[in-house]
Chains A and B, each alone.
Chain A
Amino acid sequence: MFRLQGSKTLAVDLTGDAVKAKNGSMVAYDGRMTFKKTTGGGEGLRGMVTRRLTGEQMTVMEVSGQGTCYFADRASEISLVALRGDTLHVEASNLLATEAGLRTGTAFTGLRGGASGNGLFTTTVEGTGQAAIMSDGAAVLLRVSPQYPLTVDPGAYVAHQGDLRQHFRSGVNFRTLMGEGSGEAFQIRFEGDGVVYVQPSERNTVGGDV
């Protein structure tokens, strides 16, 4: 149902069903479509409270109708992620669209969020279906297995999927305090079994400055 038209435009064929997409990301459509604003980060009253508290309030619209709808946002590269009952963790700013059958929620990320410049919470997508995530530059998919843990820069982290544990690592030492840091003071280490999406660009982070 989701397909890519080029690497920066997502085309979604709708036959009376619905998708959730980032507010204002529609660029064109044919057929008939209706756009309705909903809110991301979990359903119901509890979801609303979490969103308000966590700041992970992604504004989402629900698109329904018949025809083809095209989505794009600020010329970001788009990757499609297929979910089969597992959970995708993604920064709210990197999530472009999800099929209506997927549930979105908010999860606490701990220290990592503070260093990745994204706040302390992240968005989770779970269920069965497809999701489209976007990245600044084409995202690379890195596999993590029990023998091969992975360490990524918080500013380049986009999303992860699978059974992964994450640890926050800090490389702050005497040199950093002297202003001689390498710019890689903070890292996230993933262990377990799954995949991590990394973009070839770094957000402005606390870690990048020291």
Chain B
Amino acid sequence: MPFREINSKMVEAVVAPGQRLFSQRGAMLAYRGEVSFTPNVQGGQGGFASMIGRRAAGEAAPLMTVEGSGTVLFGHGGHHIQVINLAGDMLYVEADRLLAFDGTLRQGTMFMGSQGGVMGMVRGQVTGQGLFTTTLQGHGAVAVMAHGGVIELPVTPGRDVHVDPQAYVAHHGEIRNRLSTAAGWRDMVGRGSGEAFQLELSGSGAVYVQASEEKL
């Protein structure tokens, strides 16, 4: 596992020759050894076509490639960091929440609007997450940022989890997500409970929720 949690807001990554990491640009705090940081124009991997895809999707987080041999400390904005280990499954996360991830993970962009038709479109707008999200797949570790601590909630068939869109951080596994509304006439007249929109996650996997309604 390349990431070691120093405290709740810092992770240490070991870089060895022939191994590389991607991290959010400017997230390096300190390093030991011979490590080079190259800004990644493409904003990730996957060649020119996926770069265009990311640009168009607005999921082009400025990334840098970290190579060499040594240890690097990462942290950003005092946000809490959660290390998620992937064993072949796919992680869905917003690009601006990604702090660092293994170079062996395949990065992609996913059109969320395709899930749930028109409601999927609405979902992106309501949650402020846009219509696209970043996916990471393979074997490796990902460091994800969140405001406040993160709790992991398991999702199993028959046990759906509902999440406040603003507190949603990431999810992995075979999960369908759908925007559910509890908007009744009370919301129309301005007496809503503040929980008019919820993300309904069903399937099997896990969802990560932060202890705050603040976007990064």
Contacts and interface: CB of A to CB of B under 8 A. Distances in A.
A37 B186 CA distance: 8
A182 interface: no
Contact of B212 (A30, A36, A37, A74): A74
With most chain B CB atoms within 10 A of its CB, the pick from A5, A7, A75 is A75
Nearest to A5: B151
A27 interface: yes
A24 B213 contact: yes
Contact of A36 (B147, B148, B193): B193
Interface of A: 5-9, 23-31, 33-37, 59, 61-62, 70, 72-75
B194 A24 contact: yes
B214 A34 contact: no
Interface stretch (B47-55, B68-76, B129-137, B162-170): B162-170
Contact of A27 (B159, B193, B211): B211
B148 A37 contact: no
Contacts of B164: 24, 26-28
Nearest to A37: B193
B193 A70 contact: no
Given A6-B211, A27-B213, 15 more contacts: A5-B151, A8-B148, A9-B209, A24-B193, A27-B164, A27-B209, A27-B211, A28-B209, A35-B182, A70-B153, A70-B209, A72-B213, A73-B212, A73-B213, A75-B147
B157 to A, nearest CB: 12
